[in-house]
A and B are shown apart, each in its own frame.
Chain A
Amino acid sequence: MMTPAAIAIGCSAGGVDALQVLLGGLAPGLRQAVLVCCHSRSETTEIFRRVLERVSALPIAEAVERDVAHPGVVHVAPSGYHLLVESDLHFALSADPRVNYARPSIDVLFNSAAEAWGDRLIGVVLTGANADGAAGLRRIRQFGGTAVVQSPADAEAAAMPQAALDVAGADYCVPLLDIAPLLNRLCLP
């Protein structure tokens, strides 16, 4: 496998806690662009970003439309918009209808990221209470990318990782605590 260029993470119910564990474990030297899509009811990502900033060695920033996905930065999808990645690795936003009751939708992010990065993408599905992300994770695998799913038994809400396993399968299905070390191993030279 080529060295991954990006990691796309999707989560919903229980996601903020899970992300703190995951991002807190990522190595400071990681050069991959990290994209996060977390369902939330809040209108801005400000508090969410502050919570993640406390634990993450990598800088956290809201993804800005037309901006490029920066290596070594965690880009958070803005509330109320779908986040997409263009083939030239710039971000695009969309105000199209909700997908799987969600906007941002994990499927929308994963589908476009799969096409943009192909086999250089790792998709991660964490805890959540619906099936968003499952179809997107399958697409990531179809394009040669790597699928990581949190063990449903270990997840605060099992539905989302279970749906991902059912629809897409996974290259790695591990407990939350093991995901950051796994990503570090896959990403660091």
Chain B
Amino acid sequence: MDAPELEGIEVDVFVQALQKRHGYDFSQYAPASLKRRVRQLASQFQCKTISHLTERMLHEPELLPRVLEGLTVPASDMFRDPAVFRTLRENILPLLASYPHINIWQAGCAHGQEVYSLAILLEEAGLYERTQIFATDLSDRALQHASEGIYPVKDAQQWSRNYQASGGGQSLADYCSAGYNLIKLNQRLRRNVTFAMHNLATDGVFCEAHLILCRNVLIYFSNSLQDRALSLFRDSLVRSGFLCLGLRENLELASTARDFAPFIEPMRIYRVASHVETLSA
């Protein structure tokens, strides 16, 4: 048997063991990236093989939070793709402003960079007081990190440029404090954020949202899991609610895609299609 085939078996066994031992289902993740992340975990835990990683994961339950973080958290930036945030600022928030109360679901919030970006947009639009942001992730450690809002200061310069390019009228420095090579986002920004565990692979609808942001999360999913997540988004959105995906996501293979109408296609912003029955008006 050749090496990739053997490693394929090891990854399958790891995924099965993770599910049976801890109840987390990664069987519907796209294999190439999953395999890469499992390999990285093995090396992070100094395991010579993925089988060794599986053994440790089974017998050392305290490793689970780091395993889940390693399997799920991508890199992100504040105001990543500034044009998208500019569009949210200029085209979407004014439409949301007509609601007396606004719910926003950030699905797969990872380390929270976009949660704070969103909170800043809402502050500057004067909408934050009547907005609730639900920031969810399946990784406990990611949620912890996100709620702390502490990031390396080396990222701040780029983020500041992103903020300006998104149409920000102030300075990003106004929203954070710096020290010890770190920046910390002003904790007032999270006063209307609820951080919660939620797994797009297994959990259901939990809120009624006017806008869902889920950028660069579905790219890690198989076609069928992508479809499941999109159904969940459709069922969570109010009538004519908005969905914002990553700039390079492809919906063509998902049957649920027909329940979303492109609203600002180049920014991957969709709206629940008019034929779809949703939670409420």
Q: Does A100 contact B (CB under 8 A)?
A: no
Q: Collect the chain A residues with CB atoms within 8 Å of residue B32's CB.
A: 84-87, 92, 112
Residues of chain A within 8 A (CB-CB) of B192 are none
**Nearest CB on B from A113, distance (A):** 10
Q: Is the CB of A96 within 8 A of B31?
A: no
Contact B250 A95 (CB under 8 A): no
Fill in one digit per residue for B235-263: 1 if any A CB lies within 8 Å of its CB, else 0: 00000000000101110110000000000
Are B220 and A94 in touch, CB under 8 angstroms?
A: yes
> Per-position contact with A for B78-90: 1 when CB-CB < 8 Å, else 0?
0001000000000
With A65-B219, A66-B223, A143-B4 as known contacts, state yes or no: A94 contacts B250, CB within 8 Å.
no
The reply to whether B246 and A95 form a contact with Cβ atoms under 8 Å apart is: yes
Nearest to A113 among chain B residues (CB) is B32
List chain B residues, Cβ under 8 A from A85.
32
Which one of B3, B31, B37, B216 lies within 8 Å of A95 (CB-CB)?
Answer: B216
Q: Does B76 contact A (CB under 8 A)?
A: yes
- Assembly CA distance A118 to B2 (angstroms): 11
A96 touches B33 (CB 8 A): yes
- State the main secondary structure of chain A at its contact with B: loop
A93 to B74, CA, bound (A): 11
B274 to chain A, nearest CB (A): 26
Q: Is B101 an interface residue (CB 8 A)?
A: no
Judged by a CB distance under 8 angstroms, whether A67 is at the interface is yes
Q: Which residue of A lies closest to B252 (CB)?
A: A66
Residues of A with C-beta under 8 A to B246? 95
Check B75 for interface membership: any CB of A closer than 8 A: yes
Chain A, interface residues (CB within 8 Å), range = 20 to 34
Q: Which residue of A lies closest to B254 (CB)?
A: A66
Contact bitstring A50-93, B, C-beta under 8 A = 1, else 0:
00000000000000111100000000001001001111000011
Q: How far is the CA of A163 from the CA of B250 in the complex (A)?
A: 35
CA distance in complex: A45, B81 (Å): 14
Is the pair B75, A95 in contact by a Cβ cutoff of 8 Å? Answer: yes
Q: Which residues of B lie under 8 Å from residue A84 when comparing CB positions?
A: 32-33, 36
Contacts of B17 in A (CB 8 A): none
CB-CB under 8 A from B74, the residues of chain A are 94-97
Q: Please give, as numbers and ranges, the residues of chain B lying within 8 Å of A111 by CB-CB distance.
A: 36
Residues of chain B whose beta carbon lies under 8 Å from any beta carbon of chain A: 3-4, 8, 30-33, 36-37, 74-76, 81, 216, 219-220, 223, 246, 248-250, 252-253
Task: Rank and list the top 3 A-B pairs by shortest CB-CB distance, nearest first.
Answer: A95-B74, A84-B32, A95-B216
